[in-house]
């Protein structure tokens, strides 16, 4: 027994081993991205050739499409439709600036736009989508602007109520998270009726002709009980699904351009292996020389799936069928754009958010997961943060 370590020393080594393994397990289950990035930076050059080798072997037994066409510029039908549906009525002396939306927090009533002072936006400008009045720009930075939606707590907006032949003026008072905006300070209360249309009313310093743009806040609905004395009119309103992509800002003076395009990075990619040794054929390994961490993988403009992890110049993407994108996809229909609901048979597009560009084609909602070809594309919309769920 002379060669054995003393008990204390053995126990110390055992404890250290257990702690090391436990910390590895913790890192696996609750990963710190910088640790994984460092490991991938060191081991990536070793791992990628092995992946390519395994991919080469697998492809001998897989029927894989090998399309070598070069994808052209992708013009999204969704974006075209949003532009067609969303542009408010033209009025003299006003230009509508098209600005991409970064994110919308309907609860707190604020919207963030991907353009600011550099796009000649300024505070007080009104923001609309089609005939929907959304709010006013409250704060402007160089490349970002914040919009206070009319339902933001404390936000007061002049409105005009019209039901049948009666019209009266009132003020809409936003309540934020407490509930829908209240219709208050009604000039002629007798003129108010449930389902009355609430039209936006310009302030004295707004361009006069904006009153003719036909912008509305929504419909008046009754809330509370007259018996308890807490009845009131509130605004029934929902931000159109199309407005999650772009909105229109009224401007009486404009810069060089009236369209602020969202930033979208794009790069070619190659499939290096279809299938994963743990999770099966739901994953694909791709390589790309992109100088950004991509968010989504597409095959000639059609989305294959989200990129799950990126290891320097290659990574893994999750192949998903279009129906798996419920809540993250939108569909075109006759009257505009709406969120895609499960079970509906439609052509669906990406909704945006989490770095995924808006308006990329996902395909028919009932289509199966498809096998990507050898030449692919990776995409990132760095500004795209998405919409806070309701």
Partner 1 sequence: MKVRVSVYLALALVMTIVFPWMRQLSFGDYLPDAWLLLLLLAVPTPMPHSVRKPIILALCFAILRSSVALCSPIASCASLLAALMVRESLTRLLSDSLFVYRFSSAVLSAVPMALIDMSVASQHHIQLSYTTCAWRVLLTGLIVAVVKRRSSNSMFGGTS
Q: Which residues bind partner 1 (CB under 8 A)?
A: 4-5, 17-18, 20-21, 24-25, 27-29, 31, 35-36, 39-40, 43, 46-48, 50-51, 53-55, 57-58, 61-62, 273-283, 285, 308-309, 316, 318
Cα(184)–Cα(202) distance, integer angstroms: 17
In angstroms, what is the minimal distance from the CB of 206 to partner 1? 46
Please, which residue, 5 or 254, has the CB nearer to partner 1? 5
In angstroms, what is the minimal distance from the CB of 167 to partner 1? 51
Please, which residue, 16 or 194, has the CB nearer to partner 1? 16
Strands 386-387 and 95-105: parallel
Q: Give the C-alpha distances (Å, rounded to integers) separating 154 from 173, 180, 205, 231.
A: 6, 12, 20, 20
Please, which residue, 62 or 368, has the CB nearer to partner 1? 62
Single out the residue of 116, 154, 148 nearest to residue 135, CA to CA. Answer: 148
Residues 6+ apart with CB under 8 A from 10: 4
In angstroms, what is the minimal distance from the CB of 71 to partner 1? 26
Output DSSP code: residue 244: G
In angstroms, what is the minimal distance from the CB of 281 to partner 1? 5
CB environment 120-142: b (16+ within 10 A), e (fewer): bbeeebbbbbbebbbbbbbebee
In angstroms, what is the minimal distance from the CB of 326 to partner 1? 12
Please, which residue, 11 or 27, has the CB nearer to partner 1? 27
In angstroms, what is the minimal distance from the CB of 98 to partner 1? 33
Q: Give the C-alpha distances (Å, rounded to integers) separating 245 from 160, 181, 360.
A: 28, 24, 12
71: Cα within 13 Å, side-chain hemisphere: 19
Please, which residue, 22 or 194, has the CB nearer to partner 1? 22
Please, which residue, 9 or 238, has the CB nearer to partner 1? 9
Q: Which residues pair with 54 in a beta bridge?
A: none
């Amino acid at each position: 027994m002379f060669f054995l370590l003393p008990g204390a020393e053995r126990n110390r080594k055992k404890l250290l081993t257990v702690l090391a393994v436990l910390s590895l397990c913790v890192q696996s289950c609750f990963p710190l991205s910088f640790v994984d990035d460092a490991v991938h930076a060191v081991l990536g050059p070793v791992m990628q050739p092995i992946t390519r080798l395994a991919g080469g072997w697998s492809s001998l037994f897989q029927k894989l499409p090998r399309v070598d066409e070069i994808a052209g510029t992708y013009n999204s039908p969704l974006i075209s439709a949003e532009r067609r549906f969303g542009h408010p009525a033209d009025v003299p002396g006003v230009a509508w600036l098209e600005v991409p939306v970064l994110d919308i927090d309907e609860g707190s009533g604020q919207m963030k736009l991907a353009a600011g002072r550099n796009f000649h936006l300024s505070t007080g400008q009104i923001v609309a989508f089609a005939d929907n009045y959304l709010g006013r720009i409250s704060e402007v930075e160089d490349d970002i602007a914040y919009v206070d939606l009319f339902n933001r707590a404390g936000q007061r907006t002049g409105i005009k109520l019209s039901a049948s032949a009666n019209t009266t003026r009132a003020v809409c008072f936003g309540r934020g998270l407490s509930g829908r905006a209240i219709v208050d300070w009604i000039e002629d209360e007798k003129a108010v009726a449930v389902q009355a249309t609430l039209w936006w009313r310009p302030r004295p310093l707004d361009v006069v002709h904006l009153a003719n743009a036909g912008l509305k806040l929504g419909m008046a609905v009754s809330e509370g009980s007259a018996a308890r004395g807490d009845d009131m009119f509130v605004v029934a309103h929902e931000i159109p699904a199309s407005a999650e992509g772009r909105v229109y800002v009224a401007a009486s003076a404009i810069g060089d351009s009236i369209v602020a395009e969202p930033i979208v990075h794009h790069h070619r990619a190659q499939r290096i292996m279809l299938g994963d040794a743990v999770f099966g054929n739901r994953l694909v390994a791709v390589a790309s020389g992109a100088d950004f961490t991509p968010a989504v993988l597409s095959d000639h403009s059609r989305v294959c799936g989200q990129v799950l992890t990126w290891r320097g110049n290659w990574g893994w993407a999750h192949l998903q069928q279009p129906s798996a994108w419920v809540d993250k996809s939108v569909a075109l229909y006759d009257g505009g754009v709406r969120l895609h609901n499960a079970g509906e048979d439609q052509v669906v597009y990406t909704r945006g958010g989490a770095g995924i560009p808006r308006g990329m084609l996902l395909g028919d909602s009932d289509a199966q997961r498809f096998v990507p070809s050898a030449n692919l594309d990776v995409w990132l919309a760095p500004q795209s943060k998405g919409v806070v769920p309701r």
